[in-house]
Chains A and B, each alone.
Chain A
Amino acid sequence: MFEHVISVVTQALPKLCTGMALTIQMTLFGVIIAFIIGLIACLARISRFKIFSAVSGAYIYIIRGTPMLVQAFFLYFGVAQLLPFKLSKNLVGIITISLNAGAYMAEIFRGSIQSISKGQMEAARSLGLPYGTAMRKVILPQALRRSIPSLTNQVIISLKDVSILSAIGVAEIFQAGKIITARNMESTIIWTTVGAIYLIVVFLLTKLANYVERRTSYGQSTNKKSS
């Protein structure tokens, strides 16, 4: 019995690891682009120019209001297939993850920016700094740090959401698991292994996030005096 499990796992492991490697790659590219999209969408959302705010609001509404499965199908079958040039499944997958996570990150950033006391912006402006500079040098460094726990959460969600892209045929770890179980019928063993691989990756990711959060903290190391 035990030898059987070992042999099924060792046979499946290379394919599953290749799948997880693709999952990680797509998550990585996806969330990096999502970070940029999210930042731009957030700044547009809080901009005093109504048009930017409205466009960004519509984007966030559409993404949050539809399942990622629908978004992936729309982009792959509804958009990519109509283009004169060919977009690979993986590329469409990364675009889907980016657009999806970007909307959620925009809201994460907006929440953190609004959690920074209004006095910070006022102090910066009172020194003569223009809005953009005040945002870049005073508000965003503080807000981004506060975003780390929620961003970590979003990265974990995106990592798991890559499995949805199996529906358009992306050969990530879930797709790899499906192919293996279709052949060997060892559902219990394979899905346990797939789950375990996810858990290990998420564990490492959480550790990394904690490390980043500690490294970016300021001033809390020494004794705090009362005011």
Chain B
Amino acid sequence: MVKVQIKNLRKCFGDLEVLKDIDFTVDDGEVVCVIGPSGSGKSTLLRCINALEVPTGGTIIVDDHEITDKHQDINKLRENIGMVFQQFNLFPHMTVKKNVMMAPVDRKKMTKEEADKKAVALLETVGLASKSDEYPDNLSGGQQQRVAIARALAMNPDVMLFDEPTSALDPEMVGDVLAVMKRLAEQGMTMIVVTHEMGFAREVADRVVFMDGGVIVEQGRPEDIFGNPQNERTIAFLNSVL
């Protein structure tokens, strides 16, 4: 079953065309890693999927709802699309637990008690139950990112978007965050991950997408993309990062 369907997606910032006629689908339960040089449009593609960027043209359908339709209640649609940011973006004036509970309670998805229980359980799964009452500033980057994942999961999304989730982390913190993401993938979550972690892409992704210059240059199973890339731009990129 198709979870995310993108057709003829275009995005311009002024005169700069960042996404050029992108067609892209993600199946239910699929884990897709998007790789490519900076400025290739991969983050913009991700941000179009939950309408943080408004596309210049084309359609995006998530779960049979057209994100690009102006008459849709975008807030309702976003509840089902979790997002994790490079800079974590935890709310610094709320405790860790409050960060996780806030949206489900505010959007009336859960009662306070349910959200509390859910937050405790989620923090448990990301290994941070003991930090519930701390403020984000007192956590390391890796811990903050795991809280951010828990916060996104609290809304029970059925698609998760990761925008370079480990790029702002010290190397020794990366492993914990990737482990949480890997477990999520194994549980069958549909995930789109923009990443520079080639090891993660190779190991966890069902499909790897290589973007450059606003187009999808090549995509396929990780063993094919990493083992036997066809396009010369893919080969050049992989040579420079591996």
Write out, one digit per residue, whether chain B residues 42-85 have a CB within 8 A of any chain A CB (1) or not (0): 00000000101000000000000000000000011011011101
Chain B residues whose C-beta falls within 8 Å of the C-beta of A117 in the assembled complex: 87, 89
Which residues of chain B are within 8 angstroms of A141 by Cβ–Cβ distance? 93
Question: What residues on B are CB-neighbors of A133 within 8 Å?
Answer: 106
By a CB distance below 8 angstroms, the chain B residues around A182 are none
Known contacts A127-B152, A219-B135; is-contact A227 B85 (Cβ 8 Å): no
Chosen A-B contacts, 5 in total, with CB atoms closer than 8 Å, are A125-B52, A128-B79, A129-B106, A218-B93, A222-B134
Who on chain A is nearest to B90 by CB?
A123
Check if B75 sits within 8 Å of A226, measured CB to CB. Answer: no
Which of these, A120, A137, A142, A227, contacts B173 with CB under 8 Å?
A227
Among B111-119, B139-147, B208-216, the stretch that binds chain A is B139-147
Per-residue contact bits, chain B 148-166, to A (CB 8 Å; 1 contact, 0 not): 1001100100000000000
Min Cβ gap B141→A in Å is: 3
Q: Which of B120-149 touch A at CB < 8 Å?
A: 134-142, 144, 148
Interface residues on A, range: 20 to 34
Chain A contacts for B170, CB-based, 8 A: 226-227
Size of chain B's interface in residues, with CB distance under 8 A? 38
Q: Are B138 and A129 in contact (CB under 8 A)?
A: no
Q: Judge if B102 is at the interface, Cβ distance under 8 Å.
A: yes
B169 within 8 A of A: yes
Q: Which residue of B lies closest to A118 (CB)?
A: B89
CB distance from A119 to the nearest CB of B (A): 4
Does B22 sit at the interface, judged by CB under 8 A? no
Contact residues in A for B169 (Cβ distance below 8 Å)? 227
Shortest CB–CB separation between residue A128 and chain B, in angstroms? 4
Encoded as 1 (CB less than 8 Å from any B CB) or 0, chain A from 107 to 140 comes to: 0000000000101101111111110010001100
Q: How far is the CB of B145 from chain A (nearest CB, A)?
A: 9
Is there contact, CB below 8 Å, between A129 and B75? yes
Which 6 interchain pairs have the tightest Cβ spacing?
A219-B135, A227-B141, A123-B89, A128-B79, A127-B103, A119-B89
Q: Tell me whether A66 is interfacial, beta carbon within 8 Å.
A: no
Query: Does A223 belong to the interface (CB within 8 Å)?
Result: yes
Question: Please, which residue of chain B has its CB at the minimum distance from the CB of A136?
Answer: B106
* 16 extra A-B contacts, CB within 8 A, seeds A141-B93, A223-B138: A117-B89, A119-B89, A122-B52, A122-B85, A123-B83, A123-B91, A124-B103, A126-B83, A127-B78, A127-B151, A128-B78, A128-B155, A129-B106, A218-B137, A219-B134, A219-B135
